[in-house]
Amino acid sequence: MRSSWVDVDRAFAESELFRRQLDAWFGGASSRQVVRGQGTWNALPDATLLDEGTEYVITAEVPGLTPEEVALDATASGITISGQRKNNAPEGYAAHRIERSSFRFARTLTFPVKVDPDRVSAEVKAGVLTVRVPKSAELQPRRVAVAG
């Protein structure tokens, strides 16, 4: 019998590595910081932290997670994101190949400036978590009238 479930383009599997390299290069060239798990996917989903001026924006890949499965705690100095994807093998099936793993993560990000924990917002859409962390209002520039 012909062997099945062979990746047709083996070379393509290498592109994941290439993407990580690209991310690293772009990370150096802009204000973006790439935050990654240590070695394994299980440690932390791929995530990006951007300084947008008035707020920080964190984007994390959490395929399969619903909003209820992600927890977010915010303080004036940082946030903690945590979540878990349980083993979601369908029932009554035999497995040929398992690459997608269950994962569990908890990550605390501290910011160099004070943030406003009351205005932190987050959404999970299509397996992507986006967290917006506004910087403290005290840090926003104010126009000062100059007396003549």
Partner 1 sequence: MNTESAMSKSASRDVQKSTPENIAWVSPRVDIYENTEEFLLLFDVPGATLESVQVELHRNELTLEAKADIGRNSRGYRRAFQVPDGIRADAVAAELRNGILQVHLPKSAEEKPRKIRIEAPN
Which residues are at the interface with partner 1 (CB under 8 A)? 1-9, 12-13, 15-16, 19, 22, 26, 29-32, 48, 50-53, 57, 59, 61-66, 88-90, 92-100, 124, 126-128, 130, 141
Cβ atoms of 40 and 102 within 8 Å: the answer is no
Instruction: Name the residue nearer to partner 1 (CB basis): 58 or 148.
Output: 58
User: Residues near 135 by Cβ (< 8 Å), separated by ≥ 6?
Assistant: 54, 55, 56, 111, 113, 114, 115, 116
What's the order of all strands across the beta sheet hosting 78-85?
Answer: 70-74, 78-85, 103-110
Cβ proximity to partner 1: between 12 and 76 the closer is 12
Q: Give whichever of 97 and 142 is closer to partner 1, judged by the CB atom.
A: 97
CB of 9 to partner 1, least distance (A): 6
CB of 110 to partner 1, least distance (A): 18
Q: Which is nearer to partner 1, 95 or 147 (CB)?
A: 95
∠ Cα 128 98 125 (to 5°): 10
